[in-house]
A and B are shown apart, each in its own frame.
Chain A
Amino acid sequence: MRTITIKLPQYHGVPVEAERISPDVLAGLSIREISEIEVWQGNRRLRLSDIFLISGDTDPDKPENTRVVVEGDLSKVKRLGEGMSAGVMEIIGDAGMHAGNSMRGGVLRIKGDAGDWLGREMRGGRIEVDGNAGNYAGAGYRGERCGMRGGEIIIKGNAGAFLGEHLCGGTIEVMGDAGDFPGCANQGGIIRIHGHANLPGAEMVKGSITAGSARVLPSFAYEDIVELGDMTYKKYVGDLVENGKGELYIASGQIGK
């Protein structure tokens, strides 16, 4: 597998638009050609090598055989891995906003925290975040009626507000807590939150949300206790404001205890 390493030696206050840092774009280029790629920092047009140190195997390969490693404090570097369809991309550090936007395939691993709009409108592939994610992970952008449609997002820390807003498919798993309104306007996706969720599933019509604990909206109707795996859950149906058929499961105990 071809590995390309892109290092950010110093933190930049002015955001960098780095949608071209993805296996799809870099796989077919030599290291020299990669250095010449155009990026924007604020209103300045730069070459990739003006900001980043680039190294690695120089022979072009297919995107699916390419691993891109990005290192440094990338919290102001936006749109990493946007639209990627294959290969592996690893971010050693925090990623800026819009990482993994509209992703269609491949794997994006973020070893630190992710900014807002992580994996927004993604259709396939897999995103793993070791730290926390910002607001609107897996959501649709302003005005969109469909957010994430496929693939999976795994957040090992906490997620911000509006997790999976307008979710139309795919799976989101959060090991920690979620902020306000996870899964709002869910149109058919799956969200699993292991920690606490605040007001999940507002305006949801389809899909399912599972939470370790939650403050439940009054527009959800309690149905029954159900067993899933080795846990018992309170099952709710809603959001009834939308005549919704969504399912909300709140953990209530462990079987055998």
Chain B
Amino acid sequence: MIIKGGIVYDPANGIFGEEMDICIENGRIAEDAGGEVIDARGLLVMPGGVDAHSHIAGPKLNTGRIMRPDDSRMGTEPRTRVCRPSTGYTVPNCYAIGYRYARLGYTTAFEAATPIIEARHTHEELEEIPIVDKGALTLFGSNWTVMECVRENDMDMLAAYVAWGLRAARGYGVKIVNPGGGEAWGFGSNVKSVHDPVPHFDVTPAQIIRALAEVNERLRLPHSIHLHFNNLGRPGNYTTAIETLELLKDIKPSRMRQVVHVAHMQFSAYGGTGWKDFESKASAIAEYFNQTNHATMDLGQIIFGPATTMTADAPLEYANARIGHQKWSNHDIELEESSGVVPWVYTRKMPVNAVQWAIGLELALLTKDPWKVVMTTDHPNGGPFVNYPEIISLLMSREKREEEMKTLHEVVRSRSTLPSIEREMDWSEIVIMTRAAPARILGLEDKGHLGIGADGDVSIYNIRPDEIDPSKDHAVVKAGMSRAKYTIKGGAVVVRDGEIVAAPQGRTYWVDAAVPESDMDRMLSSLKEKFERYYSIRMSNYMVQDAYVPNPVVVNAGMQPLKEVI
């Protein structure tokens, strides 16, 4: 396949809006190729989108769907020759997730949280999401075995457990959600700072985070730890955020990437002492990111309208349900985690929501290096991912931001710095935030760029970058980004003129990390005992079998040095 004459943005390879041809051969970008010729003269061409943090599969999604029959009435699309029927807006069905990502020009999406015990269900759902490549991060933050290893300061055993956990869950990386808080929730409480001991375990969140970060680097995992802070969603929590990041400053990364990726930063950049004097502290957070190089973040931008919050942070969900008088699902996941699901609506005239909206944009615009900030809505916590084009048009146009702010509660002007920010992003920065940076942060070597050998994932939009001014023509930007003219996945056209024309099955990434056999044996003998005594199922029923991951991409990691990721 040859894509002719497009205006190509590939910042990872130093290409910023050059007119050039792209060739794809055998599913990968190549020097030259034959076959189909796609005329992209003058159109915007970039690598396929990569979503580094989204909730797209697993039992919490299904809980959301069961709780929200009202949501399934939104966004219904009938079956077509190619597509199965779609339903839902905040918690769409599996097929709709694949089609909608593809229509936005995305070809990769990672599920951000799966407890090991429920990973089989996660993979069953991932398999039903067509087109996109995917992977799932595995939860370790409130896990009994993790906390016991941390308490005993047994890093060898912890490394063995993490490696085993990733293999058992066919997981891609280490996710940490409100470390210790999930376990404390089992006793009806929470941890209030990173130095607050977890009841009955005599460890602090700070110790858990540091130990998992050290083990993550010892195992040379492609992705860093992926952290959802303590005190998330609470006024004044930006101090917790900075305190936690400070803990990790001296850890040396084992690969060319960050040491910690912060999930949905917007929910952890809050000032004030309560909801009455709630304000944005995005500037303090952005300042911290500008001065340090060990951390990256995703936005967790909120979108006005309905959302469904779902997280392993169960105490947070309890608080949400009480504040919003909402339906609430609470789930205790044996020795591994907790979780909750609560429907939500973000309202323009609500002061807190208006400031939250501003915080996401402030974080993106005040952080100088776009490689440190990736675009997400923490789908469906901040709002559904189908709204990414809205965020792109806001980041590219100050005029659009001003127009939006006129429709919001007036505190958005006094309690955030957004009105004074003049920066307007260009296409290179957008491509970094939605493609190149998420791929690099996740350690996906073949994604997010168009270099020779990269995956043949390309999106082409009905936007002429040489003719339009995104700061003025923001409506054109939003409309163009909403329906890709072409999405090419692994060298196959899956979207043409905004319509799905093919729905191939994507692949699932997981990480197989090697540890010394003696450590693994020692860990397994203690784990077996735990299963006998505490778990409701047997260990032999636990591992995700290969049959559940029919299209795997196994990424090898482990203690022996590996090739550096570029």
Contact = CB atoms under 8 A, between A and B. Distances in A.
A141 interface: yes
Nearest to A243: B325
B66 to A, nearest CB: 9
Contacts of B67: 143
Interface stretch (B68-76, B224-232, B498-506): B68-76
Contacts of B68: 143
B366 to A, nearest CB: 36
Nearest to B70: A143
Nearest to B72: A143
What DSSP secondary structure best describes chain A's contact surface?
A: loop
A145 B71 CA distance: 11
Interface in B31-86: 67-71, 73
B67 to A, nearest CB: 7
Contacts of B69: 141-143
Contacts of B73: 141
Interface in A117-147: 140-145
13 contacts: A140-B70, A141-B69, A141-B70, A141-B73, A142-B69, A142-B70, A143-B67, A143-B68, A143-B69, A143-B70, A143-B71, A144-B70, A145-B70
Interface of B: 67-71, 73
A142 B65 CA distance: 12
Contacts, number: 13
Given A140-B70, A143-B67, 7 more contacts: A141-B69, A141-B73, A142-B70, A143-B69, A143-B70, A144-B70, A145-B70
A70 B430 CA distance: 56
B109 to A, nearest CB: 26
Interface residues of A, number: 6
A72 to B, nearest CB: 29
B269 to A, nearest CB: 30
B177 to A, nearest CB: 27
B522 to A, nearest CB: 49
B219 to A, nearest CB: 43
A207 B537 CA distance: 50
A226 B69 CA distance: 41
Nearest to A146: B70
Interface centre among B67, B69, B70 (most CB of A within 10 A): B70
B478 to A, nearest CB: 28
Interface in A140-168: 140-145
Nearest to A205: B325
Nearest to B66: A143
A140 B68 CA distance: 13
Contacts of A141: 69-70, 73
Nearest to B71: A143
Give the 6 A-B residue pairs with the shortest CB-CB distance, closest first: A143-B70, A143-B69, A142-B69, A144-B70, A143-B68, A142-B70
B410 to A, nearest CB: 26
A144 B73 CA distance: 10
A143 B308 CA distance: 13
Contacts of A145: 70
Interface centre among B67, B69, B71 (most CB of A within 10 A): B69
Nearest to B68: A143
A144 B67 CA distance: 10
Contacts of A143: 67-71
Interface centre among A140, A141, A142, A143 (most CB of B within 10 A): A143
Nearest to B73: A141
B154 to A, nearest CB: 47
A140 B70 CA distance: 9
A134 to B, nearest CB: 19
A207 to B, nearest CB: 16
A162 to B, nearest CB: 15
B12 to A, nearest CB: 44
B88 to A, nearest CB: 12
B533 to A, nearest CB: 40
A144 B71 CA distance: 9
Contacts of B71: 143
A222 B128 CA distance: 55
A141 B69 CA distance: 9
A45 to B, nearest CB: 12
Contacts of A144: 70
B326 to A, nearest CB: 9
A142 B71 CA distance: 10
A141 B73 CA distance: 10
Nearest to A242: B325
Contacts of B70: 140-145
